[in-house]
Amino acid sequence: NKAYYFYTKHFLEKGLKVPPIHACTEDYRYFIIKDLGDETLLSILEKEKINGSDAAVVSLYKPVLDDLLDFQLKGIEGLNLEYAFPVATFTRQSVKWDLNYFKYYFIKSHNLDFDEQKLEDDFDAFARKIMAAEMNFFTYRDFQGRNIMRFEDQWWYIDFQGGRKGPLVYDLVSLLYQAKAGLSENVRNQLQDYYFMKLDERIPGKSSEVQVHFNNYVYFRLMQVMGAYGFRGLFQRKPHFIQSISLV
């Protein structure tokens, strides 16, 4: 809750579109925040995919990618990470947490036969690849269609309290490979190109450094998502997450 409070205050000062807090108790337990209605990027996308084309979907996502870069580049400037939770920076240990989440809540829940030592060796090697990316930006951690809302003809952003200092590409992958969104490969490629073009406009030459890590982060994010779906769906038996497993 403290992370949510202080991140909100910081992002508003940076001009980022997060819902203002109207009131908060001294112990940060209860909040009254701006009501953004119930229209999300995902709900709008479902209509666009039925009535529109790839071009319409790309146009829908482009301003969101512009805002993502604002969070990643402006959002980290002067951000006090003292209140970040559960960790302040994207570390090798946090990578292993996500990989083990996948192992224990997805692989083992399906009773698959595998060599656990070899898997751990692969996880160690993979974690080194993930950590090879530059870690000096704000990583939102759950930048996907349900956390992006449309209100008063503007995009607004919620559920950022798990953010930390980390890589750029993680959030891009989270958005483009959201299982429920089901974006086509053509749309993903266009949006990926747009993001890297805009990144180069802000930091010339940066995209070439970042793109080499893209595919590794696709696999990493998908394993993290399958772990989460396994826990919420197969263990907690929540229907939405069970239904989502086949979409990953």
- What is the average pLDDT across 59-87? 97
Give this prediction's pTM: 0.91
- Give the pLDDT confidence of 200-232 residue by residue, as tens digits: 999 999 999 999 999 999 999 999 888 877 766
Q: How large is the greatest C-alpha to C-alpha distance in the chain, in angstroms?
A: 53
The pLDDT of residue 27 is above 60: yes
Q: What one-character DSSP code corresponds to residue 150?
A: E
Helix runs in the chain, H state only:
2-13, 41-51, 54-69, 92-102, 116-130, 169-176, 185-202, 206-211, 214-229, 239-245
- The CA-atom distances, in angstroms, between 102 and each of 151, 225, 232 are 35, 8, 12
pLDDT tens profile 151-174? 999 999 999 999 999 999 999 999
The rounded mean pLDDT for the chain is 92
Question: What's the residue count for the chain?
Answer: 248
Higher pLDDT, 241 or 229: 229
Phi, psi (deg, nearest 5) at residue 242: -65, -45
Per-residue pLDDT, averaged over 63-80, amounts to 98
